[in-house]
Amino acid sequence: MKSVGIMIRRRKRTNKKILDKEIITLHSKLKKNDTIITHYTTEKDYTKGNYHTHLMIEHNDDMNLYNQLNNFIGGNIWEVDKSGLDEIKINNGKWGEIHTHHIWDELRFKGYMNKHKQLKTLY
């Protein structure tokens, strides 16, 4: 299975409970066409007074993942931002933005996700 790190930020004001429910819905839609495991945590945006989510999704089908992310955010144009060895794909859709990136060290990334709240896992 491949792992990808994802950050999702919604445009409209949202709260933690709504965002958690949306992530569970996204997971169930991804699971219809692929075997996936989703690890996620929701954090407060201190600059905008909103919330965003960090996810680590273990998946097999890249096409299914990106199609569902496009539907989730209301966009379809992915821009690539390269810095050093890291490549970040960014989608600014109608309902928010998504950043995806390769995970070099899963343990460190999970540690980063756990900095404020315990991460949750969906199978």
The tens place of each residue's pLDDT in the chain, 123 residues long, gives: 899 999 999 888 778 899 999 999 999 999 999 999 999 999 988 776 788 999 999 999 999 999 999 999 999 999 999 877 789 999 999 999 999 999 989 989 998 888 888 889 999
Query: End-to-end alpha-carbon separation of the chain, Å?
Result: 13
Q: How many Cβ atoms from other residues are within 10 Å of residue 3's Cβ?
A: 15
**pTM score above 0.85:** yes
- Note whether 53 and 42 are within 8 A (CB): yes
Element (H, E) at 19: helix 16-31
Residues 60-80: tens digit of each pLDDT: 999 999 999 999 999 999 999
Letter for the amino acid at 113? M
DSSP 51: E
Domains identified in the chain and CATH numbers: 2-113 (3.30.70)
Q: How far apart are CA 14 and CA 120, in angstroms?
A: 19
Structure tokens at 60: 């097999």
